[in-house]
């Protein structure tokens, strides 16, 4: 398998009041470029911790993460920053949009961080908002958007830089059932169309049919389901 990202015996433990809690235990898997995986699990099962480790937002207690066969432990601080900004798209349960900026400006933000020309960034942001069905909402601020629209803006913001890997942590957790299905379908469709690998953590069983691979995280152990 020509993997984009590979986890090798990942373990994560936390110490609380002298008690060691093993959140992740000996987790190993790999995802090829352009493929998707759903990680099922209840709240507190460690799904978010796993995604943060894959996105280099948190270090594992033991084990390694390889991106295109290079161990992320070997990345310099500058390379880690570039890895997160250029290769990873993050989507969270809470959209984390900046309230004082328009939808277009929120989506454009990753390109601004990369110091892309403003005119090009604005055009690309408008294009991505069109792909998520929000061409008519370019100048609206987050407070003027519905929950589903806000999450669509967050998806456009995550994908505008054309990352190789998208990490989505309960991206439909705050949406009603029908809107959740629409948003998830949109996300899986866009990732596949642009050959992005997608790993989604969720407790929503409706997402299972959309993914190439499905695993369940239970008791710190990742079990293959599909």
Q: What confidence tens digit (pLDDT) does each residue in 27-63 have?
A: 999 999 889 999 998 888 889 999 999 999 999 999 9
Q: What is the mean predicted confidence (pLDDT) over 21-26? A: 90
Write the burial class of residue 169 (CB in 10 Å: 0-12 exposed, 13-18 middle, 19+ buried): buried
Q: Where residue 1 falls among pLDDT bands split at 50, 70, 90?
A: low
Q: Per the structure block, which two tokens stand in for 33?
A: 């470029």
Is the per-residue pLDDT at 71 higher than 90? yes
What's the pLDDT score for residue 13? 92
State whether the Cα torsion 147-174-197-211 is positive or negative. negative
What domains are defined for the chain?
32-56+74-214 (3.40.50.300)
**Helix 177-193 to helix 147-159 angle, to the nearest 10 degrees?**
10
> Comparing C-alpha atoms, which of 188, 177, 193, 179 is closest to residue 212?
188
Overall average pLDDT of the 135-154 stretch:
90
Q: How would DSSP label each residue in 142-178?
A: GGGS-HHHHHHHHHHHHHTT--SEEEEESTTTTS-HH
Closest-CA residue to 160 (of 119, 99, 108): 108
Angle among Cα 74, 78, 84 to the nearest 5 degrees reads: 85
Q: Where are the beta strands (DSSP E) in 17-69?
A: 19-32, 36-40, 62-67
Confidence of residue 182 (pLDDT cuts 50, 70, 90): confident
Interstrand relation of 36-40 and 19-32 (parallel, antiparallel or unpaired): unpaired
The two three-digit tokens of residue 108, written as one number: 């454009």
């Amino acid at each position: 398998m020509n993997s984009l990202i590979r986890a090798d015996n990942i373990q994560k433990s936390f110490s609380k009041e002298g008690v060691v809690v093993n959140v992740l235990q000996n987790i190993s898997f790999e995802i090829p470029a352009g493929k998707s995986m759903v990680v099922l699990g209840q709240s507190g099962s460690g799904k978010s911790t796993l995604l943060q480790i894959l996105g280099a937002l948190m270090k594992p207690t033991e084990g390694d993460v390889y991106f295109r066969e290079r161990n992320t432990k070997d990345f310099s601080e500058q390379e880690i920053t570039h890895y997160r900004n250029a290769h990873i798209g993050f989507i969270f349960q809470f959209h984390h949009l900046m309230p004082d900026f328009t939808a277009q400006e929120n989506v454009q933000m990753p390109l601004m961080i990369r110091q892309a020309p403003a005119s090009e960034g604005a055009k690309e942001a408008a294009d991505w908002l069109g792909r998520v069905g929000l061409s008519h909402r370019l100048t609206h601020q987050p407070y003027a958007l519905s929950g589903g629209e806000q999450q669509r803006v967050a998806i456009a913001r995550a994908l505008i830089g054309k990352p190789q890997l998208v990490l989505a942590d309960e991206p439909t957790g705050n949406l009603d059932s029908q809107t959740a299905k629409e948003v998830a379908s949109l996300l899986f469709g866009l990732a596949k169309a642009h050959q992005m690998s997608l790993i989604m953590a969720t407790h929503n069983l409706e997402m299972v049919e959309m993914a190439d691979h499905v695993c369940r995280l239970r008791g710190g152990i990742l079990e293959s389901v599909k």
